[in-house]
Amino acid sequence: MTVTQPSSLGRQATSRTIGRNYQSLVLMLLVTLFLMGGMGARLVYLQLIQGEQNRQKAEDNRIRLVPKQPVRGNIFDRKGKILATSRLSHAVYIWPLMLKKSEWPQTLKRLSELLNIPEKEIQKRVERAGASPTSLIRLERDLTPAQITALQEYTSDLDGVKVDIEAVRNYPNGSVGAHVLGYTGELNDKELEKRRAEGYRMGDIAGKMGVEEAYEQKLRGEWGGQQVEVDGAGQILRILGEKQAKAGKDIYITLDLTTQKAAEEALGDQKGAIVALNPYTGAVLAMVSRPTFDPNIFSGKITGATWQKLQGKGNPFVNRAMRGFPPASTFKVVTQTAGMESGKFGPNTILPTFAALRVGGTSFGEWNHAGFGSIGYIQAMQWSSNTFHGQIGKGVGGPTLIEWSRKYGYGEKTGIELSEEAAGLIADDTWKRKRFNWEWTVGDTVNMSIGQGFTQATPLQVAVMFAAPANGGYKVTPHLIQNDKDPNRWRKSLNLKPTTMETLRKGLRAVVASGTGKALNVPHLPPAAGKSGTAEAPPGKPHAWFGGFAPFDKPEIVVVAFAEHSGGGGGSVAAPMVKHVMEAYFGKTDPAAAKEKEKKPTGH
């Protein structure tokens, strides 16, 4: 009998062998579905969720913004003479998208050498542009010809570096009017953060002082630029859009360049200030401060060494025309006003004067150490009697004297557009108790009556005070913007009695005609009026003051000169400065000075 074994191929399936032949196929199918699902989900995420962001990245790689800086508006004087304008210059920029990481260290080193800028500073500027890498980043302004040539020579080694022309600020008169005009400069990080909401961007230039700062919004203009498509090599393929930069607006200010230059000459190298106003409108005709600076310096790069050198000249950025100093005897205009307006000392008052006035154990001396006998307001102003005015101050009392000080504008800002203005100081009992824990005394009042003690007035405030007797009794608001509207906008009546005004004017005229201001009593100038002042300023030498106006009958100009620690008197030091300014304003020449100038030999 033959036994036949069943073949395994024909073996009957059991529960253990069912489906085993399909396991690998099912597994492969599951893996495939998982991978495809993951890829699909990733595609959905990239296209739908991150699609806009990725498209923007792709656009950024081929689309660039080439910004165009606006040309800043010009500044003209009242007669249309240019005070600030723009000139063309070269600047070097970086395009962040063109900076290859592998080549950047070498590029960075080369730029540092050519521009004399530390590598860390360049790197910092590039990193700051992280939020908008498609824009150009300015590295340096106002390149020298040597720098331009060097950059061109190394063009092949400086991918992403571009030299272009831009407009930079130019002040054709140099330092003339520097404290009024101010200067422009690139916004630093802190400034930029504050002004981003106003549309400022990295690399923007803005006014930093004076008129440039005060009228920044009018002068700055609006940025323009081109949106361009580039290839992989950074070459422009086509312009996608263009917006023309909008130039800033020109402005006309009240300065008179001829008068300004004369005031600069009059002050010379003397530390101090000169201010000239139109007494009826408050228009500032001239404003000078010493020491000064050339605003053109800021059109280029300011290094730490340059800044230290500038500061070493005695704080040249402080506008002394708007800083407080003891006003000395110029303040006697306020004292006489308080005396007459209070009713306690009428216009016909006669008082004895002495070698010194003793109050509470303090002696307030007469400058001539003898007194002037019994005199009235006009003679007291003419000879600047301290003991006369001390008696007026003592008689009206501190509160009344303080009240009239503030009515004339002392102790508060005048309202001029410049942000650098200080308020000066008119102290009172509250201030003294808070500062020194001591009550106001009669001695404080007497000291104030002659412009000493705690009183601090700016040359601009003193000019505002002198404008009142010049214009018939109005307190003016000094301003720099040219405005032909109703002058009443710029002035407010002090409501002085006609007799007060008449007495003040006669006294101020007597100062020039035969008193301490005889330097202005010259035949080639219209009749003038004014008041001198010599302020004690320990531990240094005395300050010299003179404020005056002319012509006496119908004044056109008020001029105040202040010479800090000059060591001389107001009549001998400051009055000649006022005279020089008035000569320029009225177009008159001192015959004696001209003759003396002719005698001097000229060099060849």
Going along the chain from its start, the domains and CATH numbers come out as 64-252 (3.90.1310.10), 257-307+314-595 (3.40.710.10)
CA-angle at 475, arms to 473 and 476, nearest 5° = 125
Q: Please report, as a single letter, which amino acid is at residue 333.
A: V
Cβ–Cβ under 8 Å, residues 465 and 438: no
The closest alpha carbon to 584, from 260, 270, 252, belongs to 260
pLDDT reported for residue 10 = 43
Q: Which residues contact 352 (CB under 8 A, 6 or more apart)?
A: 371, 373, 374
- Read out DSSP for 66-86? EEEPPPPPPEE-TTS-EEEEE
Q: Is the pLDDT of residue 15 over 70?
A: no
Query: Do you know the residue count of the chain?
Result: 604
Hey, what are 470's tokens?
Answer: 């010049």
For 546, the 3-state DSSP assignment is: strand
pLDDT tens for each residue of 412-434: 999 999 999 999 999 999 999 99
Kindly indicate the confidence band of residue 597, based on its pLDDT and cuts at 50, 70 and 90: low
pLDDT band at 2, cuts 50/70/90? very low
Considering the chain, what is the average pLDDT of its residues?
Answer: 87
Contact between residue 405 and residue 411 where contact means Cβ atoms under 8 Å apart = yes
* The residue to which tokens 């910092």 are assigned: 124
Distance CA(544)–CA(564), nearest Å, equals 7
248: its two tokens: 């800033």
Q: Tell me, what's the pLDDT at 424?
A: 97
pLDDT digits (tens, 9 = 90+) for 510-567: 999 999 999 999 999 999 999 999 999 888 899 999 999 999 999 999 999 999 999 9
pLDDT in tens, 370-407: 999 999 999 999 999 999 999 999 999 999 999 999 99
In percent, the amount of the chain with pLDDT more than 90 equals 59
Q: What sign does the dihedral 486-490-496-502 (CA atoms) show?
A: negative
- Is the torsion defined by CA of 508, 509, 513, 514 positive or negative? negative
Q: Could you give the CA distance from residue 557 to residue 303 in angstroms, rounded to a whole number?
A: 41
Instruction: Select from 273, 339, 340, 292 the least CA-distant residue to 547.
Output: 273
Question: Tokens 């004067």 correspond to what residue?
Answer: 353
Whether pLDDT at 3 is above 50: no
Give 265-298 pLDDT, tens digit per residue: 999 999 999 999 999 999 999 999 999 999 999 8
Q: Which long-range contacts (CB under 8 A, 24 or more apart) does 105-112 make?
A: 106/157, 107/157, 107/158, 107/159, 107/160, 107/161, 110/154, 110/157, 110/158, 111/139, 111/158, 111/161
E strands of 211-361, at which residues? 224-230, 236-243, 251-252, 272-277, 284-290, 351-352, 356-359
- The amino acid occupying position 334 is V
Q: In what order do the strands lie in the sheet with 63-68?
A: 63-68, 224-230, 236-243
Q: The pTM is what?
A: 0.84
**Six token digits for residue 592:** 């004696």
pLDDT at 97 over 70: no
Average pLDDT over residues 209-237: 81
